[in-house]
């Protein structure tokens, strides 16, 4: 007999999101893991999609209302620890509205960084803010995961460049149907096609040639090369593109809150400084 999948309720999604938040607050999840699990929980339609999100965080999922049997022949009167069957199946409209409000609030908090970054264009920086410290994608873990997702999304494909901002990234490549147009993709937990530009791209770089350690080394070196205060400096973005030999070249742009542009430093694949540009 075919396996029956029970749909998740608003209360179950909210309970899982709360468990993920508690694990994050306790230091059991990093920012990236927290963001991805919350995003998955919000979109989940079935109970079996929620269980893996908390399987390694709690002793069991019975207190989250996820311990029901998904089989077609499962009894309907099974007991739940902390969740009685009537509460699970017949939540009042008021209760549903309240749990939906919780889910929305958690979602807003989880993607706040992405929502702020959405108002910034590809060529902009973090200038005008007082934020200090590395963004999620400017950490070793963040860069590693980003490049893994990128290589999976664009396997063996040549690209023009990838720009890594603190909370999101963009990637450009030639349009296979028209070499005089460039396709731009945007990463916010996953890659999505965004727009076409009437600009020819130089498709001569593969994602597999980019090493996360080299990206992090360029970010670290830029602070010293540009003689910046690491306690006040924000790296706006790192642009990775191919040099004349087809090797990755890293152009790091820095800013300092409301004081704006602090210059750029370009590094070769071996970490050698190739160019330093300071603001006027």
pLDDT at 123: 40
Q: Tell me the average pLDDT of the chain.
A: 75
Using DSSP's 3-state secondary structure scheme, residue 260 falls into coil
Dihedrals φ, ψ of 206, to 5°? -105, 145
Using DSSP's 3-state secondary structure scheme, residue 262 falls into strand
Cβ atoms of residues 175 and 181 within 8 Å: yes
What would the pLDDT profile of 68-127 be if each residue is shown by its tens digit? 544 433 333 333 333 333 334 433 443 444 445 545 444 545 454 444 344 433 444 443
Higher pLDDT, 121 or 4: 4
What would the pLDDT profile of 163-188 be if each residue is shown by its tens digit? 999 889 999 988 888 878 888 999 98
Question: How many other CB atoms are there within 10 angstroms of residue 77's CB atom?
Answer: 5
Q: Which helix (H) or strand (E) holds 221?
A: helix 212-225
Percentage with pLDDT > 90 across the chain: 25
According to DSSP, the residues that pair with 228 across neighbouring strands are none
pLDDT at 61: 52
According to DSSP, the residues that pair with 261 across neighbouring strands are 255
Higher pLDDT, 88 or 23: 23
pLDDT at 2: 56
CA dist 142 and 139 (Å) reads 5
CA dist 96 and 221 (Å) reads 52
């Amino acid at each position: 007999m075919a396996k029956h999948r029970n749909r998740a309720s608003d209360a179950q999604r909210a309970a899982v999101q709360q468990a993920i938040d508690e694990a994050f607050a306790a230091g059991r999840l990093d920012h990236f893991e927290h963001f991805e699990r919350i995003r998955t929980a919000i979109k989940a339609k079935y109970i079996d999609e929620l269980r893996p999100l908390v399987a390694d965080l709690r002793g069991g999922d019975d207190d989250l209302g996820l311990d029901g049997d998904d089989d077609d022949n499962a009894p309907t009167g099974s007991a739940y620890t902390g969740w009685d069957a009537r509460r699970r199946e017949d939540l009042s409209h008021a209760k549903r509205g309240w749990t939906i409000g919780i889910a929305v609030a958690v979602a807003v908090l989880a993607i706040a960084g992405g929502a702020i970054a959405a108002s910034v264009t590809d060529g902009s920086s973090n200038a005008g803010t007082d934020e200090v410290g590395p963004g999620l994608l400017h950490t070793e873990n963040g860069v590693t995961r980003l490049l893994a997702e990128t290589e999976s999304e664009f396997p063996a494909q040549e690209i023009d460049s990838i720009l890594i901002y603190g909370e999101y990234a963009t990637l450009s490549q030639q349009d296979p149907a028209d070499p005089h147009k460039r396709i731009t993709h945007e990463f916010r937990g996953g890659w999505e096609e965004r727009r076409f530009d009437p600009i020819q791209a130089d498709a001569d770089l593969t994602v597999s040639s980019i090493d996360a350690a080299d990206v992090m080394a360029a970010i670290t070196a830029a602070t010293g090369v540009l003689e910046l205060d690491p306690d006040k400096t924000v790296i706006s973005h790192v642009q990775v593109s191919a040099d004349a030999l087809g090797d990755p070249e890293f152009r790091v742009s820095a800013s300092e809150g409301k004081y704006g542009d602090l210059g750029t430093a370009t590094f070769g694949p071996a970490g050698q400084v190739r160019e330093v540009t300071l603001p006027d």
